[in-house]
Structure 1
Amino acid sequence: MTAQFPDAPTADDPLTATRRWVERAVIGLNLCPFAKAVYVKDQVRLVLCEATTPEALLERLAEELLHLRDTPAQTTDTTLLVHPHVLQDFLDYNDFLDAADALVESLDLDGVLQVASFHPDYRFADAPDDDIGHCTNRSPYPTLHLLREDSVERAVAIYPDPDAIVERNIATLERLGPDGWDALRRP
């Protein structure tokens, strides 16, 4: 299957576009079967980071990791740190993830919090560039997703077959196709 992925329409601000992506793609397509429960309870924190350098982003990431650590899950279960002005190049973004993981460890949060990654140009290393499966991790703007390990473990434990999520997501995106994915992201 050959797929083209035009640039996402960005007629509105990054948080509005990210919220729309969460509602239409992540929840609407059920790409993450665990997202809806925390979203409808308003336990998802969306944060706009105005950083223009990886160093400034790392500082803001540290603040958000500590905020999540210190906030009860009933108030904020997860955080999306949207950073539209830095790490636009996917390879630079991907390299930055090592620094993010090192930060989690240096803050003694390894096993407590984790950072997942979303990017407009996300590519899995073992898939062709035009594979629609990349869209499972494509967001309107570069985004770091801060997750509580215990929340992830609880969600996976009650899900009937967590290993099937990836295959189901790819099948969903193949049915949707590139045109459907593009339409989904329009304002």
Structure 2
Amino acid sequence: MSDGTVVQATRKWVEDVVVGYNLCPFAKRELVRDRVRFVVSEADNEDSLLQALQTELLRLDDEPEIETTLLIHPHVLQNFADYNEFLGAADGLLTYLDMEGIYQIASFHPDYQFADTEPDAAENYTNRSPFPMLHLLREASLESAIDNHPDVNGIPPRNIELMNELGAEKMRTVLANCAKASENKGE
């Protein structure tokens, strides 16, 4: 699968799922403004993924016009338990680079599973994506968006309720359609 296909599938997921279902009420504005960087890492091991993560964090520091980055890594950490364990190393990199409080890393994975949920629970789809990825966010922007939202604490329960209403089968289909649509474009 080409990088272009991976980006197309991820962009479609952001448009159709994240923005389309309003899972993140802050995403649409940045997507419309073309301030979301979609980057595919060729990393095939955790060390090279950490290097790619460092590169993207430094890029955010150097390029303020990029609001947020989706670091998509289709060749490493396909197993969710391994991915989840890696998040500690990603946060450790933020500490090492003295970027805690400046950036935050959100996690998305095709097999994402919240603690105390069943693997096939619909609510897991709030964080399920076509490929494993790390979402790099600017803390100041996130804090500003939160401060200006009328009910930020209501977002997670609303999303869980919506996913449960739509159901796991529907969301599996929606996620699969994101990948199919990009493959059909012939990239």
Residue matched to 2:74: 84
Unaligned stretches of 5+ residues in structure 1: 1-11
Deviations 1:14-59 (A, max 9, x none): 1111011000000000000000011000000000001000000000
Q: 2:124 corresponds to which letter in structure 1?
A: H
Unaligned stretches of 5+ residues in structure 2: 182-187
Aligned length: 174
Q: Which residues of 2 match residues 88-99 of structure 1 at below 5 A?
A: 88-99=78-89
After TM superposition, the score normalised by the length of structure 1 is 0.90
Deviation of 1:128 (Å): 2.1
Residue matched to 1:125: 115
Deviation of 1:182 (Å): 2.6
Deviation of 1:130 (Å): 2.2
In structure 2, the CA distance between the partners of 1:163 and 1:138, relative to structure 1 (3 Å rule), is same
After TM superposition, the score normalised by the length of structure 2 is 0.90
Q: 1:98 corresponds to which letter in structure 2?
A: G
Deviations 1:120-164 (A, max 9, x none): 000011212221111100000000000000011000001111111
Match among 11, 35, 39 for residue 43 of structure 1? 35
User: What secondary structure does 1:13 align onto?
Assistant: helix
Does residue 178 of the first structure (1) align with residue 143 of the second (2)?
A: no
Distance between the aligned counterparts of 1:67 and 1:103, measured in 2? Answer: 15
Q: 1:34 corresponds to which letter in structure 2?
A: F
Q: Which has the higher contact order (CA 8 A, sep 6+)?
A: 1
Q: 1:16 corresponds to which letter in structure 2?
A: Q
Residue matched to 1:136: 126
Distance between the aligned counterparts of 2:80 and 2:115, measured in 1? Answer: 12
Distance between the aligned counterparts of 1:99 and 1:179, measured in 2? Answer: 33
Higher helix share: 2
Deviation of 1:70 (Å): 1.5
Distance between the aligned counterparts of 1:149 and 1:178, measured in 2? Answer: 31
Percent of pairs identical after alignment? 51
Does residue 165 of the first structure (1) align with residue 155 of the second (2)?
A: yes
Distance between the aligned counterparts of 1:49 and 1:153, measured in 2? Answer: 28
